[in-house]
C-alpha cells in the first residue's frame, strides 16, 4: 500500500492496544507499534542490546521493557532508560490514515 508523502501502512490502528504493541514488517525491516496515552509511536522492533523483540516486551507507562534482559527504552523517544540498554532505538513519526498506522520509512530518527 502506497500513500502520499512516502507514507506506508504498518498495521490497523485498531489492532494496537495500550499494553499490547504490534510487530509489523515493511521492506524487510521489523517495527514495533505502540499506543501510549492515546498516541501512536513506532520504534524499531529489534532491541539495540541483542535479539529481543520489543513488540513482545512489557509496556510500563511510557517505557517498553525488553523481554530478553529486561532493559528499557522510552517509547516516545527511543532513548534507553534502564541497563543493559545504552543505545537508543530508531523511531518514526506515526500517522493514522484510513484506520492504519503509517510511517515514512526513510524518516527514522535516533535520540542522541
Ligand atoms: S536484548 Fe534487549 S535488553 Fe538485551
- Is 60 exceeded by the pLDDT of residue 51? yes
Domain residue spans of the chain: 4-107
Q: What is the mean pLDDT of the chain?
A: 95
Q: What is the pLDDT of residue 32?
A: 98
Quickly tell me which residue has 506506508 as its cell.
8
Residue range 20-39: mean pLDDT, rounded? 97
- Is 90 exceeded by the pLDDT of residue 36? yes
CA of 2 to the centre of ligand 1 (A): 33
CA of 15 to the centre of ligand 1 (A): 25
Q: What is the pLDDT of residue 85?
A: 97
CA 23 to chain centre: 8
How far, CA to CA in Å, does 83 sit from each of 9, 33, 56, 72, 104?
A: 32, 22, 18, 7, 30
Select from 3.40.980.10, 2.102.10.10, 3.90.1150.10, 3.30.300.30 the CATH code of 4-107.
2.102.10.10
**Whether the CB of 50 sits within 6 Å of ligand 1:** yes
Amino acid at each position: 500500500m502506497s500513500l502520499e508523502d512516502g507514507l506506508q501502512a504498518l498495521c490497523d490502528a485498531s489492532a494496537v492496544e495500550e499494553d499490547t504493541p504490534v510487530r509489523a514488517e515493511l521492506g524487510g525491516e521489523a517495527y514495533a507499534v505502540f499506543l501510549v496515552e492515546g498516541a501512536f509511536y513506532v520504534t524499531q522492533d529489534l532491541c539495540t542490546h541483542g535479539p529481543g523483540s520489543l513488540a513482545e516486551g512489557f509496556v510500563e507507562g511510557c517505557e517498553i521493557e525488553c523481554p530478553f534482559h529486561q532493559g528499557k527504552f522510552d517509547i516516545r523517544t527511543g532513548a534507553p532508560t534502564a541497563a543493559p540498554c545504552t543505545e537508543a532505538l530508531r523511531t518514526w513519526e506515526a500517522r493514522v490514515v484510513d484506520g492504519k498506522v503509517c510511517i515514512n520509512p526513510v524518516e527514522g530518527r535516533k535520540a542522541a
